Structure 1
Amino acid sequence: MARPVQSSSPEGGSRPPPNVAEAAPPPASEAQKAKSVKLSPTDSAEDAAVRVFSAALDHFEANVPTFHAAQASESVHQMRVGLRRLRAAIGLFKDALTGSALDAARARAKEIAGVLGDARNWDVFHDMLDGGPAQALAEEPSFHSLLDALELNRAKAYRAAREKIEDAGTEGFLAEFRKAIAERDWTVAPGMAEEGSAKDFAAAALTKLRRRVLRKSRGLAGRAPEERHELRIALKKARYGAEFFESLFPDAEHAETFSAALARMQDGLGVYNDMETANALLDGIDAENDAALKASGFVRGWFAHAAQAGAAHAKKSEKRLRKLKPFWE
């Protein structure tokens, strides 16, 4: 099967961003993961936002050259993660900063991520087939029809992703939000521009995120798929918040353990979401390709059987969440 090759500031305003790089890092030959955000005890909450927003943009932009060079699935994933981190960060700082520039950036990031998400969904579906029913269906003609349909849809999704990344509107969004960050084009809540306010803001924000996770995890094993998905989103936001703010607190090892635990739980719940998405993709294939119906039914059954094994994981996740101690208290 054909597959995308795997590869590995403007001036302005009364105050410049604190120690934010003026240019994105040079192009890399492999997809780039998010880099750590380094905050200082003297940072205000506004300073912290500047650093976090800039880091998310850097993450997205660092993966654009790799995508252009190789159309690598991992670069699509990392660009999407960068935009998710940006959206999460803008939401996280909503009690400290408000303004139309932030609202516009969050909306544009969601729009671009949605297009990239379509390509990512077909990549994940491909991997799920490879890691599961592909061997059992190797000699089944309808499975090859299914694979052909998958590749056709994935090629379309990648073309749409490339067009969105190359679109002048995307470049304009990045430049406009960089400018907004440099000029601090937002309204700051009382006390959020004061030196050292970042740490207290971070502790309050992380506590709020943790409470949301705990609330949504109650009775996890019996929750409906959409409720598990909501918990996964809450876990993701809590993990991003922990990663954004961990440098403000002394116990780095505890912070890393906390984030890693959330990531494992998020990945475990992601299996459910991937199966729901795969079934939706199969619906589209079935509607257009009768030749794939037999294999499609087998694949659905395979996924349903795999999902049953997730109940035990859900129970363990709920227990682990309640035992996971905050690193910011």
Structure 2
Amino acid sequence: MERPARHDVSPEAIAPTADVRPEPAKVAKPAGPQKARPVKLLATDTVEDAAVCVFSSALDHFEANAPVFLAEELAESVHQMRVALRRLRAAIGTFRDALAGPALAAARDRAKTLASTLGQARNWDVFLDMLAEGPGASLKDEASYEALLAEINTRRAKAYRAARAAVEGPEARAFLAEFREAIAKRNWTAQPEAREEGSAKDFAQAALTKLRKRVVKKAKGLAELTPEERHQVRIALKKARYGAEFFESLFAHVDDAEEFSAALAKLQDGLGDYNDMETANTLLDEIDAEGATVLRASGFVRGWFAHAAQAGAAHAKKSEKRLRKLEPFWE
């Protein structure tokens, strides 16, 4: 089933007459940071129809936040742009059994590159939040802590300059425009069954089952996993949650789908704390290499995070059990 096309009015059709001087257009201030809107699929949708909706949703999410960020460099705008790019990459991966081609591969690579640049800015934002919520209160009168904050803010400012350059640069504009065109033209090779009316639901069931099995397998023995292995579990959780959000409108029990996604998000957040601590230590390595003025505060922060990581590990077994008990809403 084809989606209705948007019809744009040509500039000539609305051009003023020679005797009329148009008033200056009022430029509306962009709204605040935007979360992804729900994807609405139809029971009659083909797999291709579903892909068009999901890919377009991810691009809409990014493009809703880019002007907000360029107008005011808010941490939440950076976060939402990264989420949009992650959702796009996850979507391309989810549909790869049905759709393939250079345009999809290029979009996935370009989204990864852009997300990596935004990730540098996001890492410094998260680090500052972690300090404020944790060891910062105990270090507020410590001179080396002031030096540490100064170093962090210097690096954060540099990362934000790079993020702005990437978002408003020609590569990002080309990526968005070219992938929009590829979506409109369905510029990919599709499996024959992907063009059958109503095929989206069967595809969704198979894809969600595969994503769930993968995350359960990766999470086995969660409490004993290395930081890198826990990070891989978190990535699998994200993909499973995004998949659930992409396809939930195809199934009757929407409340069950939302509960499923919320449970995955909670588990993902818990593992995210581990990953943030590992990232913070890497950022501290970068700062420590510059000089000794921050070392006292840096050592205290590392100890604080190490203690927090040990306390969090006690909940890992419970998290694994909760994951295994999650009932699929698509069966």
Report TM bin, short chain: over 0.9
> 3-state DSSP class of the match of 1:291?
coil
Q: Provide the TM-score with structure 1 as the length reference.
A: 0.93
| Partner of residue 123, structure 1 | 125
Q: Deviation digits for residues 210-265 of structure 1, max 9, x if unmatched? A: 00011011110111111110000000000000000000000000000000000000
Letter of the 1:55 partner, please give it.
S
Q: Deviation digits for residues 84-126 of structure 1, max 9, x if unmatched? A: 0000000000001000000000000000000000000000000
Q: Deviation digits for residues 170-221 of structure 1, max 9, x if unmatched? A: 1011000000000000000120110000000000000000000110111101
Cα 1:98–1:305, aligned 2, differ >3 Å: closer, same or farther? same
Letter of the 2:3 partner, please give it.
P
> 3-state DSSP class of the match of 2:300?
helix
CA distance in 2, matches of 1:82, 1:21: 22
Letter of the 1:149 partner, please give it.
E
User: How many pairs were matched up?
Assistant: 312
CA distance in 2, matches of 1:124, 1:324: 29
C-alpha RMSD of the superposition: 1.3
Structure 1 residues 11-30: aligned runs within 5 Å: 18-19=3-4, 28-30=30-32
| Partner of residue 143, structure 1 | 145
1:86 matched to 2:88: yes
Cα 1:239–1:19, aligned 2, differ >3 Å: closer, same or farther? farther
| Partner of residue 255, structure 2 | 253
| Partner of residue 318, structure 2 | 316
Structure 1 residues 132-281: aligned runs within 5 Å: 132-281=134-283
CA distance in 2, matches of 1:205, 1:298: 45
CA distance in 2, matches of 1:200, 1:315: 33
CA contact (8 A) 1:20 1:51 kept: no
1:288 matched to 2:273: no
CA distance in 2, matches of 1:239, 1:141: 43
CA distance in 2, matches of 1:22, 1:135: 56
| Partner of residue 8, structure 1 | none
| Partner of residue 300, structure 2 | 298
Structure 1 residues 35-114: aligned runs within 5 Å: 35-114=37-116
CA distance in 1, matches of 2:303, 2:94: 40
CA distance in 1, matches of 2:7, 2:146: 50
> 3-state DSSP class of the match of 1:30?
coil
CA contact (8 A) 2:58 2:87 kept: yes
Q: Deviation digits for residues 13-49 of structure 1, max 9, x if unmatched? A: xx9x6247679xx874210000000000000001000
Q: Deviation digits for residues 270-297 of structure 1, max 9, x if unmatched? A: 0000000000000000001320011000
CA distance in 1, matches of 2:7, 2:234: 34
Q: Structure 1 residue 69: deviation in Å? A: 1.2
What fraction of aligned residue pairs are identical, expressed as a percent?
67
| Partner of residue 10, structure 1 | none
Q: Provide the TM-score with structure 2 as the length reference.
A: 0.92
CA contact (8 A) 2:281 2:302 kept: yes
CA contact (8 A) 1:96 1:188 kept: yes
Letter of the 2:138 partner, please give it.
A
CA distance in 2, matches of 1:244, 1:20: 21
Q: Structure 1 residue 316: deviation in Å? A: 1.1
CA contact (8 A) 1:27 1:62 kept: no
Cα 1:264–1:220, aligned 2, differ >3 Å: closer, same or farther? same
4+ residue stretches of structure 1 with deviation over 3 A? 19-23
Q: Structure 1 residue 136: deviation in Å? A: 0.3
CA distance in 2, matches of 1:81, 1:19: 27
Which runs of 5 or more structure 1 residues have no equivalent in the other structure?
Answer: 1-14
Task: Tell which structure's C-alpha radius of gyration is larger.
Answer: 2
